[in-house]
Amino acid sequence: MSKRYKVAILGATGLVGQRFVQLLESHPWFEVTALTASGDSAGKHYREAVHWLLDSPLPPSAADRLVSRTHADQVDADFAFSALDSGVAGPIEEEFARAGLPVVSNAAPHRMEEDVPLLLADVNPEHVALVPEQQRRRGYSTGFLVTNPNCSTAGLVTALKPLDDAFGLDAVSVVTLQAASGAGHPGVSSVELLDNVIPYIAKEEEKLEEEPRKILGRVAGPRIEPTSVVVSAQVNRVPVVDGHLESVSVKLRGKASPADLARAFAEYTSEPQRAGLPSAPEFPLVVRRERNRPQTRLDRMASGGMAVVVGRIRRCPVLDFRFTLLVHNTIRGAAGAAILNAEWLAKKRLLVPRAQTGSVGAGEEPRFVGSGAPT
Ligand SMILES: NC(=O)c1ccc[n+]([C@@H]2O[C@H](COP(=O)([O-])OP(=O)(O)OC[C@H]3O[C@@H](n4cnc5c(N)ncnc54)[C@H](OP(=O)(O)O)[C@@H]3O)[C@@H](O)[C@H]2O)c1
């Protein structure tokens, strides 16, 4: 099977970067050709530069690769995944886009910019319509920026989308219990976090309150008109490694029962499922009927970590309904979401192998070899 796209992972040594390396190892379309990080890591073999923390072995093809500096002229790739520290990602990602490389990013700086899609391919696939306008406005040729949301937002909006579609959403209250890996590595020190719950994560509540309004918004010409849904968020860091649990209450516009909500969650599918994209879970939401699920340790790897698990759906005496959800923060909430976004961009012919950019016109089908390639 021929892999058609050469991809760079920017910030490959961090926790999300490691997930990209793991998930892309056997990807049918994307071949990793560059790993980048800070000046401290550049020039080292990846196995020396990374503190590998995942429970599968470090892939040999990545282990022996030299880490590059994070500059567009240092990588040979068709596009880049960014897992850069949010403090440095903004200008670096713009440099790559200006140099002609699309950037599919996990980082926060560009998420709320008017011409940048804040995309979860199975929630708001139509938001890729912003890309041509972004290229025009910013003078990018083949490059562009697409972002995926904050990890807690990714879980929350996946559950809100079918409710908004079926019943109309009015207001949301969410309380999160977020894993240590959400803070990256080394992140929160073990002395602070073990035997403890920390009721504060910098800028997290703001992201949870703002990002869903853009994601659930509608394309209005060259911009997204945000939804009127109001979100109230309270966040906590808890001593688990992976998986953000969220207690959610919702106020709906239409009438429904708990069984109606369960059906709306369980039956929800979107474009990536219909297109059969390689990283699309069969269903974005998995409903657990047991009264004590989802649980972080038991449920975070549902559908390879790409499904959001929902349970405890019941009436709420303050708003209308409440439920619990679980999202794997570095897979569905980060690297896995970005990979699915890139598959959707390829399917929409917005990502084109560079070898073909001279020969393939806009809207024309690139030629793919082997099964599993975009059609
Ligand atoms: N962790 C999550 O669950 C999660 C979920 C969604 C989104 N995100 C976002 O994804 C991004 C990565 O998160 P993470 O948890 O993987 O963070 P992390 O573990 O701290 O990794 C940060 C990465 O950025 C690199 N870096 C730092 N400064 C740099 C510079 N000046 N130039 C080039 N590279 C630089 C680091 O390289 P060195 O090793 O060389 O320092 C490392 O590879 C962040 O923007 C974060 O907000 C994280």
pLDDT at 352: 87
CA-wise closest residue to 35 among 54, 20, 23: 20
State whether the beta carbon of 181 lies less than 6 angstroms from ligand 1: yes
DSSP labels for 82-115? E---HHHHHHHHHHHHHTT--EEE--STTTT-TT
Q: From the CA of 67, how far away is ligand 1's center (Å)?
A: 15
State whether the beta carbon of 8 lies less than 6 angstroms from ligand 1: no
Q: From the CA of 35, how far away is ligand 1's center (Å)?
A: 13
Instruction: Look at the domain 151-328 and name its fold.
Output: Dihydrodipicolinate Reductase; domain 2 (3.30.360)
Instruction: Look at the domain 5-149+333-357 and name its fold.
Output: Rossmann fold (3.40.50)
Q: Which amino acid is at 291?
A: R
Could you read off the pLDDT tens digit of each residue along the chain, which spans 375 residues?
A: 467 999 999 999 999 999 999 999 999 999 999 999 999 999 999 999 999 999 999 999 999 999 999 999 999 999 999 999 999 999 999 999 999 999 999 999 999 999 999 999 999 999 999 999 999 999 999 999 999 999 999 999 999 999 999 999 999 999 999 999 999 999 999 999 999 999 999 999 999 999 999 999 999 999 999 999 999 999 999 999 999 999 999 999 999 999 999 999 999 999 999 999 999 999 999 999 999 999 999 999 999 999 999 999 999 999 999 999 999 999 999 999 999 999 999 999 999 887 765 433 333 333 333 334 443
pLDDT at 356: 66
What is the separation, in whole angstroms, between the first and last Cα of the chain?
Answer: 15
State whether the beta carbon of 334 lies less than 6 angstroms from ligand 1: yes
Cα distance between residue 166 and residue 164, in whole Å: 6
Question: Which residues of 192-278 form beta strands (DSSP E)?
Answer: 218-220, 223-225, 230-237, 244-252
State whether the beta carbon of 119 lies less than 6 angstroms from ligand 1: no
Domains 5-149+333-357 and 151-328 share a fold: no
Task: Give me the active site residues, please.
Answer: 151, 244
Q: Which of 15, 16, 35, 177 to probe ligand 1 with, by most ligand atoms within 8 A of CB? A: 16
Q: Which pTM was predicted? A: 0.95
State whether the beta carbon of 187 lies less than 6 angstroms from ligand 1: no
Strand pairing report for 285-287 and 223-225:
unpaired
Domain chopping of the chain, boundaries: 5-149+333-357, 151-328
Query: Counting beta carbons within 10 angstroms of the beta carbon of residue 349, is it exposed (0 to 12), middle (13 to 18) or buried (19 or more)?
Result: middle
Q: From the CA of 182, how far away is ligand 1's center (Å)?
A: 11
Q: From the CA of 203, how far away is ligand 1's center (Å)?
A: 16
State whether the beta carbon of 84 lies less than 6 angstroms from ligand 1: yes
pLDDT at 43: 98
